[in-house]
Amino acid sequence: MKFTLRFSRAYVVPLWRWYFVGTLALVATNYLSVRVPMQMARGLDLLRAGEPGAAEAAYWIALLGLGVILARTLSRVWFFTPGRIAEFNLRGDFFAHLLHLQPEFYAKQVTGDLLARATSDVTFARAFAGFALLQAGNVVGSMLFGVGQMLALSPTLTLAVALPCVLAFGLMQIATRQIMRLQRQMQQQLGLMSDDLLGAFSGVATIQGFNVEGVFQSRLDGRASDLRRTSLAMTRLRAVGFPLLGVAGGIATWGVLFVGGGAVREGTLTAGQLAAFIALVAFIVMPLRMLGWLLPVLQRSEASLERIYAVLDAEPNRPGALPSPARAPSIELRGLSFLYGERPVLRELSTTLPAGATVGIYGPVGSGKSTLLRVLSRLEHPPRGTVFIDGVDVLDLDLDAYRAALCVVPQAPFLFSETIRENVGFGAPEERVRTAVDAASLGPDVGALPDGLGTVVGERGIALSGGQRQRVALARALLRDAPIVLLDDVLSAVDHATEQELIATLRGRSGATRLVVSHRLSALVHADFILVLDAGRLVDQGTHDELLSRPGAYRDAWLAQQVAA
């Protein structure tokens, strides 16, 4: 239970005041509960003897019952509330940690599985912090007070009760270990099924367009069948294992009647005490039955917490300590090489990009252009000593501050299913959003939409054209007055006139060093400096005119695009 203990230290122990008061309420609940059978024994014995006082015992039973109801209710409040608080804190920490993990972490994860960890696994953690701790305290209190009172009445009868209960508990432990294994398997299967559902929902237009609904339905049916088999196996184990304590309670009651009846005849036990003992057996059997539910909850929460901590233990971004540039910096590459796994993508890149320059980057598909921008934005970590910002190794810069100094627009921009206003500004004032929209040449398009900036763009911006999505992402970036601007082929879906407007806007941001990736060389004509990549290598560099003056990939591409135009 190492993950449960770790969770307890971090999230449960700080809430000890709640649990302390709840434990006092549990103690009161169990103490008052065992007093009820003793008053019942007193009343029955007084009735059998024909002596007065039975009515007084009945009044005490009613009063004790009210006390049990009140104390039990308060114990639930004082245990379930910190359970919810612990769940809230864990969920917040889990989400915050996910936001700081690098892309290589997500490349190895299944989205649906991460969603299952953030939802159902966190819920099972809350079940431990609330329900499980409450029932554990209830079981301990019931056994201490109940068994203690039973021993006081008759050690012999207590032994008769203990033997079948201990045997049933041992058998149930065997079933619980199997349930634990199946629970881990079921959580993994649930994550895979969730991922299939998310993928189908996101790509429903493609599924319908290619008429492959049956393929995805068959795949989901297979996932659901695996999950059903595992669930049924767990149900069978529970059906066999959990009733064992109930059966043991019935056997224990029979043993009490068999042995206790003789004790009453011999006069070593009164009829009232025997009735009280039977009531105490029922009192302890109930928490023992609850123990049958409690152990799988503990096992399930341990399995869930193991999955949660597998994410929380993943290495986040590696922050440096030095401040990031406040003005347009120079960028230097010194023998930069980068690999995805074992596949080299960038090979020995060395160049210096002047501060405040507009730098174009050209190369065929797969030449490493997008990877270079991902390395510069530190979505991927470069090797130490290969990337320098104003002469400082980029790994030594404070990462959050460095990213705040970036204006990044990826090749495939992501839009949230929110309004254009929210996608651009993320809560920024309306005036700043409108200024950024106009700077991205999106103003006329927004004006033509029915709700203007309040238009909801749909899932991943499906309600917008490709060019509009690019310009929404560009407006989002232009909203930030960043000293480093990284644009990855963001002009590919706009017409020539709009392209020239956007280029003029970008060049007007004199306080930034700009890197612009483009397959359309017309977007790079006015760049101060152009890098030409091929197969991850820097094969040429210079101004537009210099590159056209000598044979090479850049001049070939320019001539081909001029002919096509």
Residues whose CB is less than 8 angstroms from the CB of residue 428 and which lie 6 or more positions away in sequence, other chains included: 479
Across the chain, mean pLDDT equals 82
Among the listed ranges 280-284, 321-325, 373-377, 471-475, which one has the minimum average pLDDT value? Answer: 321-325
Instruction: Compute the average pLDDT of residues 389-404.
Output: 86
Task: Assess whether 503 and 413 both reside in one domain.
Answer: yes
The whole-number pLDDT of residue 19 equals: 94
How large is the greatest C-alpha to C-alpha distance in the chain, in angstroms? 122
Residue 565 has pLDDT above 60, yes or no: no
Give the domain extent around 230: 2-312
Q: What is the CATH number of the domain that holds 533?
A: 3.40.50.300
Q: Please, which pLDDT band fits residue 333 given cuts at 50, 70 and 90?
A: very high
Residue 49 has pLDDT above 60, yes or no: yes
Task: Assess whether 91 and 233 both reside in one domain.
Answer: yes
Instruction: Compute the average pLDDT of residues 40-48.
Output: 82
Q: Is residue 326 part of a domain?
A: no
> Do 417 and 456 meet the contact criterion of CB atoms below 8 Å apart?
yes
Tokens representing 201? 């929902």
Smallest Cα–Cα separation from 84: which of 15, 183, 5? 15
Among the listed ranges 128-137, 365-374, 452-461, which one has the minimum average pLDDT value? Answer: 452-461
Residue 80 has pLDDT above 90, yes or no: yes
Task: Assess whether 293 and 411 both reside in one domain.
Answer: no
Beta strand residue intervals within 468-509, DSSP E = 484-488
Residue 563 has pLDDT above 70, yes or no: no
Q: Please, which pLDDT band fits residue 20 given cuts at 50, 70 and 90?
A: very high
The whole-number pLDDT of residue 88 equals: 93
The whole-number pLDDT of residue 241 equals: 66
Residue 87 has pLDDT above 80, yes or no: yes
Q: Is residue 317 part of a domain?
A: no
The whole-number pLDDT of residue 320 equals: 67
The last residue of a domain, from among 312, 340, 375:
312
The last residue of a domain, from among 278, 312, 346:
312
Task: Assess whether 130 and 157 both reside in one domain.
Answer: yes
The last residue of a domain, from among 283, 312, 341:
312
Which of 292-306, 368-382, 437-451 has the largest mean confidence? Answer: 368-382
Which of 120-129, 177-186, 241-250 has the largest mean confidence? Answer: 120-129
Q: Please, which pLDDT band fits residue 27 given cuts at 50, 70 and 90?
A: very high
Task: Assess whether 217 and 350 both reside in one domain.
Answer: no
Q: Please, which pLDDT band fits residue 494 given cuts at 50, 70 and 90?
A: low
The end-to-end CA distance of the chain, in Å, is 68
Instruction: Compute the average pLDDT of residues 465-494.
Output: 79
Residues 383, 390: Cα–Cα separation, whole Å: 17
Task: Assess whether 338 and 209 both reside in one domain.
Answer: no
Residue 405 has pLDDT above 80, yes or no: yes
Q: How many domains does the chain have?
A: 2
Q: Is residue 399 part of a domain?
A: yes
The whole-number pLDDT of residue 493 equals: 62
Q: Is residue 322 part of a domain?
A: no
> Do 456 and 419 meet the contact criterion of CB atoms below 8 Å apart?
yes
Q: Please, which pLDDT band fits residue 520 given cuts at 50, 70 and 90?
A: confident
Residue 499 has pLDDT above 90, yes or no: no
Task: Assess whether 402 and 254 both reside in one domain.
Answer: no
Distance from CA of residue 52 to its chain's centroid? 65
Instruction: Compute the average pLDDT of residues 384-397.
Output: 89
Instruction: Compute the average pLDDT of residues 425-440.
Output: 81
The whole-number pLDDT of residue 7 equals: 93
100-118: buried (b, 16+ CB within 10 Å) or exposed (e) per residue?
A: ebbeeeeeebbebbbbbbb
Q: What is the DSSP letter of 100?
A: T
Task: Assess whether 308 and 345 both reside in one domain.
Answer: no
Task: Assess whether 455 and 349 both reside in one domain.
Answer: yes
Task: Assess whether 287 and 430 both reside in one domain.
Answer: no
Tokens representing 174? 């065997």
Task: Assess whether 508 and 548 both reside in one domain.
Answer: yes
What pLDDT digit, counting tens, does each position of 153-168 carry?
Answer: 888 888 777 777 777 7
Phi, psi of 257 (to 5 degrees): -65, -40
Q: Is residue 174 part of a domain?
A: yes
Q: What is the CATH number of the domain that holds 167?
A: 1.20.1560.10
Task: Assess whether 138 and 286 both reside in one domain.
Answer: yes
Q: Please, which pLDDT band fits residue 77 given cuts at 50, 70 and 90?
A: very high
Residue 315 has pLDDT above 60, yes or no: yes
Q: Is residue 355 part of a domain?
A: yes
Q: Please, which pLDDT band fits residue 292 given cuts at 50, 70 and 90?
A: low
Q: Is residue 323 part of a domain?
A: no
Residue 313 has pLDDT above 90, yes or no: no
Q: Please, which pLDDT band fits residue 135 given cuts at 50, 70 and 90?
A: confident
Looking at the chain, the whole-number percentage of residues with pLDDT higher than 90 is 16
Instruction: Compute the average pLDDT of residues 358-384.
Output: 87
Residues 395, 389: Cα–Cα separation, whole Å: 10
Q: Is residue 382 part of a domain?
A: yes
Among the listed ranges 373-387, 408-422, 499-513, 537-551, which one has the minimum average pLDDT value? Answer: 499-513
Q: Which residue has the higher pLDDT, 481 or 86?
A: 86
Among the listed ranges 77-81, 445-449, 502-506, 551-555, which one has the minimum average pLDDT value? Answer: 502-506
Residue 258 has pLDDT above 80, yes or no: no
